[in-house]
Amino acid sequence: MTLRVLSTLAVAGAMRALLPRCEAAAGMEVSIDFSPTQGLLARVRAGERAEAAILTAEGLDALVAEGVLDAGGRVDLVHSHIGLAVRAGAPRSPIGTVEALRAALLDAPSLVYSRSGASGIAFAALIETLGIAAEVNAKARVIPAGFTAEPVARGEAALAVQQVSELLAVPGIEVIGRLPEEVGTVAVFGAAPFSGLPADRAGAAGRLIRFLASGEAAPALVAAGLEPLAG
């Protein structure tokens, strides 16, 4: 048997590293389908099902309220921060203050962010707040989904904007840092089993989620740029 998981891209690096231990915890093979939360929500609402979902806390809450996910097994796993990255070895501008960030975004010849991910939605709102949306979007490549650091690693753009964990999942880039605290958005990602599973699959999904929320999984989550919430 295979346990199927629908997962946000934000935890892709960590989940790939943890896969053998996830399978040991679940007691069966685990197959993970990675996609941005908004895309996964649309697919689930169109009728797609699996055994477990890893989404933003807001996405989990919405599907719990709709009866699709099981509230009893829902767990918040990590905090995640948005950051910026450049191609490995490329010059980097400081972004430690709001003014420095604003200058870095205006000075960058090009950048990439995602249309459907939590980071891209937050970044689009941020540049509006900073009053630089027109200037930034004039030189931005807005991808529908996927890792924004991939074009940067290939030398096709100067800056990538995404969750730090998603940036770190791409080789050939260097993370400059997180957005300044005053304007940074902290996302919470968690997991929940789907409702109405057969007992054996519900048990396997529950074991997998409890493992991800445990101290045993925490080092891999930290290494992937996430902040585990396990005590």
Spatial distance between the Cα atoms of 64 and 61, rounded to a whole number of angstroms: 5
pLDDT, mean of residues 41-52 = 97
Residue 78 pLDDT greater than 80, yes or no = yes
E strand residue ranges, 133-203: 140-143, 159-163, 173-178, 186-193
Predicted pLDDT at 231? 55
Give the pLDDT score at 29.
Answer: 97
Whole-number pLDDT of residue 98: 97
- Give mean pLDDT, residues 92-120: 93
pLDDT at 219 over 80: yes
Res. 145 pLDDT band, cuts 50 70 90: confident
Which domains, from first to last, does the chain contain?
2-79+187-228 (3.40.190.10), 80-178 (3.40.190.10)
Element (H, E) at 26: helix 12-26
Residues 11-46 pLDDT 10s: 999 999 999 999 999 999 999 999 988 889 999 999
pTM > 0.75: yes or no: yes
Tell me the HSE value of 226 on the side-chain side, using a 13 A CA sphere: 29
Give the pLDDT of residue 37: 87
What is the per-residue pLDDT for 183? 92
Residue 171 confidence class, pLDDT cut points 50, 70, 90: very high
- What per-residue confidence (pLDDT) applies to 7? 97
Report the pLDDT value the prediction gives residue 217, as an integer from 0 to 100.
Answer: 97
Q: Which residue has the higher pLDDT, 184 or 14?
A: 14
